[in-house]
């Protein structure tokens, strides 16, 4: 063997070691998940990821190829999250609820925790139309916006293992609920009108309440929608006085309970 062949042989041995380690690591990720579930331990433990980052930082301090190694570990972390997500849910998670219930916030949290893609319906519609939700309402009217929502839901049926963050009014149309349920479990997030007002009072991207930011207006609209929200929901999660981690943990737990029935 010449020098080049020897080097390539060594490289191949490294790849074998990496491959075996990766396969072992992925199995351990699944085992940890199973252990947590079997023993009632929280699935989400964000402090663990921070510890792993600190470990890598320490180990790679002043070493060559730090950025490259960090990139590989970043990818390993993301893929571990995907493995966990797929083990937990083999469907889309569809978040519904009143404006300010936390649909967008919880979607982002799930994205960070499980590397799931998020379909933020309002955002995609606004991007495609090249204008804000408020402008779409003003220029084309609510009906036009609602049609865009229906079309987007149908389009999303070809995706799996994603979080769909609906607009607050999306489940008001029965056909939308039918489309959501074809590929997803529907999670209703709720909050008291006082909580909602507190959360939305400083934002200006919700045309339906822009000039009516009062507890009584919110309570009335919420009551009008309640029946349809509840009919659409597979599970309901109250979000008052809970943080994102608590809400997501409850969401995972309740969806798993549903699956195990």
Ligand X SMILES: Nc1ncnc2c1ncn2[C@@H]1O[C@H](COP(=O)(O)OP(=O)(O)O)[C@@H](O)[C@H]1O
Binding region for Mg(2+): 104
Beta-bridged to residue 186, according to DSSP, are 94
| Residues sharing a CB contact under 8 Å with residue 177, sequence separation 6 or more, in sequence order | 171, 186, 228, 231, 232
Strands 118-120 and 235-238: unpaired
SS3 91: coil
Told to check if 195 binds Mg ion by CB under 5 A, we report no
The mark string for 84-103 relative to ligand X (x by CB under 6 A, - otherwise) is -------------x-xxxxx
Which does residue 66 bind out of Mg ion, ligand S3P, ligand X, none, counting CB within 5 to 8 angstroms by kind? none
| Residues sharing a CB contact under 8 Å with residue 108, sequence separation 6 or more, in sequence order | 118
Told to check if 122 binds ligand S3P by CB under 6 A, we report yes
Min CB(185)–ligand S3P separation in Å: 19
The mark string for 194-213 relative to ligand S3P (x by CB under 6 A, - otherwise) is ------------xxx-----
The mark string for 76-115 relative to Mg ion (x by CB under 5 A, - otherwise) is ---------------------------xx-----------
Please state, in angstroms and rounded to a whole number, the distance separating the CA atoms of residues 83 and 99: 32
Stretch that binds ligand X, among 110-118, 138-146, 208-216, 243-251 (CB under 6 A): 243-251
Residue 33 or 124 having the CB closest to Mg ion: 124
Residue 167 or 193 having the CB closest to ligand S3P: 167
| Residues sharing a CB contact under 8 Å with residue 123, sequence separation 6 or more, in sequence order | none
- Sequence-ordered strand ranges (E) for the chain: 92-97, 118-120, 163-165, 184-190, 235-238
Where on the chain is the footprint of Mg ion (CB under 5 A)? 103-104
């Amino acid at each position: 063997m010449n020098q080049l062949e020897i080097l390539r042989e060594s490289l191949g041995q490294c790849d074998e070691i990496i491959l075996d380690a990766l396969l072992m690591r992925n199995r351990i990720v699944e085992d940890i998940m199973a252990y947590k579930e079997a023993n009632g331990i929280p699935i989400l433990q964000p402090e663990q990821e921070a510890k792993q980052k600190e470990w890598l930082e320490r180990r790679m301090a002043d070493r060559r190829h730090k950025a490259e190694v960090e990139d590989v570990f970043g990818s390993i972390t993301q893929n571990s999250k995907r493995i966990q997500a797929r083990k937990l849910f083999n469907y889309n998670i569809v978040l519904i609820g009143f404006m300010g219930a936390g649909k967008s916030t919880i979607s982002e949290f799930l994205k960070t925790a499980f590397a799931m893609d998020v379909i933020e319906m309002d955002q995609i519609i606004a991007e495609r139309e090249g204008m804000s939700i408020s402008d779409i309402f003003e220029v084309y009217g609510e009906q036009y916006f609602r049609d865009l929502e229906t079309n987007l839901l149908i389009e999303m049926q070809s995706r799996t293992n994603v979080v769909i963050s609906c607009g607050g009014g999306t489940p008001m149309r029965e056909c939308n609920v039918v489309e959501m349920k074809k590929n997803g479990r529907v999670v209703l997030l709720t909050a008291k009108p006082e909580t909602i007002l507190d959360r939305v009072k400083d934002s200006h991207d919700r045309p339906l309440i822009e000039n009516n930011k009062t507890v009584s207006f919110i309570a009335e609209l919420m009551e009008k929608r309640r029946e349809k929200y509840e009919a659409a929901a597979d599970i309901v999660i109250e979000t008052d006085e809970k943080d994102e981690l608590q809400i997501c943990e409850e969401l995972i737990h309740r969806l798993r309970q549903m699956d195990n029935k």
